[in-house]
Amino acid sequence: MLRSAGPSRRAAADELLFRKGEIGHSMFVIETGEVRIEFGDGMPHKLLGPREYFGELALFIGNHARVASAIAHTACSLRVVDYPAFDYLMENEPALLAQFMRRSFAYLVASEQQLIGSLKRRNEDLLVTLNSLRQTQSELSTANRLVRTDELTGLTNRRGLYQFLEEIAPQRAPGTQLGLLLIDLDNFKHINDQCGHLVGDEVLRAVAEEVARVAASGDMACRIGGDEFALLARVDNAADLEARAEHIVLGVRALRVPLMGRDVNVTVSIGGGLCADDAVWSSWYSLADEALYRAKGNGSNTWHISQG
Please provide the DSSP assignment of the chain as one string.
-HHHHS-EEEE-TT-EEE-TTSBP-EEEEEEES-EEEE--TTPPPEEE-TT-EE-THHHHTSSPBPSSEEEESSSEEEEEEEHHHHHHHHHH-HHHHHHHHHHHHHHHHHHHHHHHHHHHHHHHHHHHHHHHHHHHHHHHHHHHHHHTB-TTT-SB-HHHHHHHHHHHGGG--TT--EEEEEEEETTHHHHHHHH-HHHHHHHHHHHHHHHHHT--TT-EEEEEETTEEEEEEE-SSHHHHHHHHHHHHHHHHT-EEEETTEEEE--EEEEEEEEPTTS-HHHHHHHHHHHHHHHHHTTSSSEEEE--
Residue 262 has what pLDDT?
61
In what order do the strands lie in the sheet containing 76-82?
8-11, 76-82, 26-32, 53-54
Flag whether 133 is in a domain: no
pLDDT of residue 122: 76
Task: Describe the crossing of helices 197-213 and 238-253 by its angle, rounded to 10 degrees.
Answer: 140
Residues 281 and 229 in one domain: yes
What pLDDT does 67 receive?
85
Q: Residues 217, 290: one domain?
A: yes
Q: Are 296 and 184 in contact (CB under 8 A)?
A: yes
Same domain? 94 vs 17: yes
Q: Is the CB of residue 232 less than 8 Å from the CB of residue 178?
A: yes
Among candidate residues 80, 98, 115, the one where a domain is terminated: 115
Do 83 and 170 belong to one domain?
A: no
The answer as to whether 146 is a domain residue is no
| Residue 171 sits in the same domain as residue 290 | yes
Whether residue 215 sits in one domain with residue 301: yes
Query: For residue 150, is it within any domain?
Result: no
Q: How far apart are CA 232 and CA 246, in angstroms?
A: 15
Q: What's the pLDDT score for residue 93?
A: 67
**Tell me, what amino acid is at 303?**
W
Instruction: Clarify whether 227 is annotated catalytic.
Output: yes
Are 63 and 195 in a shared domain? no
Determine, yes or no, domain membership for 285. Answer: yes
pLDDT in tens, 76-128: 999 888 888 777 777 776 776 677 667 666 666 666 676 676 677 777 777 77
* 288: phi then psi, degrees, rounded to nearest 5: -70, -35
Tens digits of residue pLDDT in 142-153: 556 657 888 899
Q: Exposed, middle or buried by CB within 10 Å (0-12, 13-18, 19+), for 36?
A: middle
- Give the residue from 87, 115, 143 where a domain finishes: 115
- Out of 184, 227, 278, 289, the active site residue is 227
Beta-bridge mates of residue 27: 81
State the residue range of the domain holding 73. Answer: 2-115
| CATH number for 104 | 2.60.120.10
Number of domains in the chain: 2
152 domain-assigned: no
My answer on whether 173 and 265 are in the same domain is yes
CATH of the domain at 183: 3.30.70.270
**Is there a single domain that holds both residue 100 and residue 171?**
no
Q: pLDDT tens string for the chain (308 positions)?
A: 455 567 889 999 999 999 998 998 888 989 999 999 998 877 788 899 998 888 887 777 777 788 889 999 999 999 888 888 777 777 776 776 677 667 666 666 666 676 676 677 777 777 777 777 777 676 655 556 657 888 899 899 988 888 888 877 545 545 668 999 999 999 888 888 878 888 888 899 999 999 999 998 889 999 998 999 999 998 888 999 999 999 999 999 988 766 656 666 889 999 999 998 888 889 999 999 999 999 999 988 999 999 76
Instruction: Report if residue 97 sits inside a domain.
Output: yes
User: What are the backbone dihedrals phi and psi of residue 63, each rounded to the nearest 5 degrees, phi first?
Assistant: 50, 45
Give the end of a domain, one of 115, 143, 168.
115
Is pTM beyond 0.75? Reply is no
Same domain, 64 and 204: no
Any domain includes 67: yes
pLDDT of residue 114: 66
* Residue 128 belongs to a domain: no
Looking at the fold, whether 164 and 299 belong to one and the same domain comes out as: yes
Same domain, 90 and 185: no
- Cross-strand partners of 77: 10, 32
